[in-house]
Amino acid sequence: MNVSILTALIRKESLQIIRDPSAILIALVMPLILLFIFGYGVNLDSNRLRVGLVIEDDNIAVSGLVNGFLGSRFFAIDMAKDKRVFIKPLLATKLRGIVIIPQNFSANLAKQNNAAIQVITDGSEPNIAAFVYNYSRGVIDLWLSQQYQQQSGMALKNIELQPRYWYNPELKSRNFLVPGSIAIVMTLIGTLLTALVIAREWERGTMEAMLATPVTNLEIILGKLVPYFILGMGSMLVCLLVAIYLFHVPFRGSFLALGVCSAAFLIASLGQGLLISSVTGDQFVASQAAIMSAFLPAFMLSGFIFEISAMPWLLQKLTYLFIARYFVTELQTIFLVGNIWPLLIRSTLAILFIGSIFFLITAKKTRKRLE
């Protein structure tokens, strides 16, 4: 391998990146938009759920319960005496649910006669509906046990469930979304951008021209991949700084672990881009293939937002084929938990294994193309 040829190639490729508006869009604009979206926009923590509270019971005894709802940090409460007021807002998605304290509620509770509170949720958004119910139950339970304790001096419940959320005690979805979005940014650069750029060379015939020169295949490939590798690692670093300093995501692992895992992912991702470009040889098809085989799976099948365990069986197994699945887990773990070596080593090996398959097929394909 000739170092001066290699540096010349890398220089040429880097200049091309800088001068290409598509490259700037993918490598610079997209990552910033994604970080912005997952830092500010997408927030799974429903802290101010707007819920209508219907108080049909005028007894003073329920005021404690009403205050419980008003004071809860999970709710923004609208109050009324009649349920009908809230039906239209619920239809219009202005409210997420209605809690009804019915007439005679406190009397029934005192008489131990089937007291009931009704919680109506907007099922058209199932995740939020589940939270409306969960949080309402929390408020009601708390009020009930306090009430009971005051009256009888005894605890209402014998069994108390004490939940503890490890690694993310404030339950901020940002803490796992921002690290996960690094996987998407690196997929964009490693697979989409690389596939596009190299497909363009095949399309224009400049790739053949290059292969015909005395420059070896290895030098050509390295000359192509090294600039994108640097670009990818650079954007990872930017994401890391933004995550830690702007979004205050905890970082409990080591930079070394993050560097090694990211490098392995990026190499495999570049391999995928290279493979797509050499199979399609056409920019347009390459971009579609990269979006379908890398970007969408990184988004949907990686456990980044959507729990893999809730997917149908076949889809669950399919996720093992996509490198982003392993990388998202690694990123969330390095940021929030620390260097959990068994998990990191297992995932990195899987990524490298899939990556080496990409390179092997590419090598075969390219040789065939030239014959």
Partner 1 sequence: MMAEMMLRAKRIFSLVIKEMLTLFRDPKGRFVLISPPLVQLFLFAYAATLDVKNVSMAIYNEDRGFHSQQIINRIIGSSTFSHITFINKESSIKPMIDEQKVMLVLHFPADFSRKIEARAQTRVALLLDGRRSNAAQIVNGYLADIINEYDLKLQSESGNTQGILNIIDRNWFNQNLLYMWYTIPALVAILSMLISLVITSLSVARERELGTFEQLLVSPLSPYEILIGKTIPAIIIGMFEGGIIWAAGYFYFQVPFTGSFWLMLFVLFAFILSTVGIGLFISAVSKTQQQAILGAFIFMIPAISLSGYASPVENMPVWLQYATEMNPMKHMLISVKGLFLKDMSFGLIWQNTWPLFIIALITLPIAGWTFSKRKE
Q: Please list every residue from 76 through 115 that binds partner 1, using CB under 8 A.
A: 88, 90-93, 96, 109, 112, 114-115
Which of 232, 277, 264, 281 has its CA nearest to residue 355?
264
Distance CA 118, CA 338 (A): 43
Q: Cα-atom radius of gyration of the chain, to the nearest Å?
A: 28
Taking the C-alpha atoms of residue 341 and residue 345, their distance in angstroms, rounded to an integer, is 6
Which residues ranging from 23 to 42 are in contact with partner 1 (CB under 8 A)? Answer: 25-26, 29-30, 33-34, 36-38, 40-42
Exposed / middle / buried, residue 55 (Cβ in 10 Å: 0-12, 13-18, 19+)? buried
CB of 192 to partner 1, least distance (A): 9
Min dist CB 45 to partner 1, Å, is 7
Please tell me whether residue 127 adopts helix, strand or coil conformation. helix
3-class secondary-structure state, position 6: helix
Among residue numbers 194 through 253, which ones bind partner 1 (CB under 8 A)?
196
What part of residues 262-321 is at the interface with partner 1 (CB under 8 A)? Answer: 283-285, 287-288, 291-292, 296, 300-301, 305-307, 309-312, 315
Min dist CB 14 to partner 1, Å, is 20
Per CB under 8 A, which of residues 139..198 are in contact with partner 1? 140-141, 144-145, 147-148, 152, 155-169, 171-173, 175-176, 196
Closest by CA to 42, choosing from 33, 52, 51, is: 33
- How many residues in the shown chain lie near partner 1 by CB under 8 A? 106
Residues 310-349 that bind partner 1 (CB under 8 A): 310-312, 315, 329, 332-333, 336-337, 340, 342-343
Query: Directed axis angle between helix 341-370 and helix 323-336, to 10°?
Result: 150
Q: Among 19-27, 215-223, 263-271, 357-365, which window interacts with partner 1 (CB under 8 A)?
A: 19-27
Q: Find the shortest distance in angstroms from Cβ 202 to partner 1.
A: 14
CB of 260 to partner 1, least distance (A): 18
Select from 173, 329, 186 the least CA-distant residue to 270.
Answer: 186
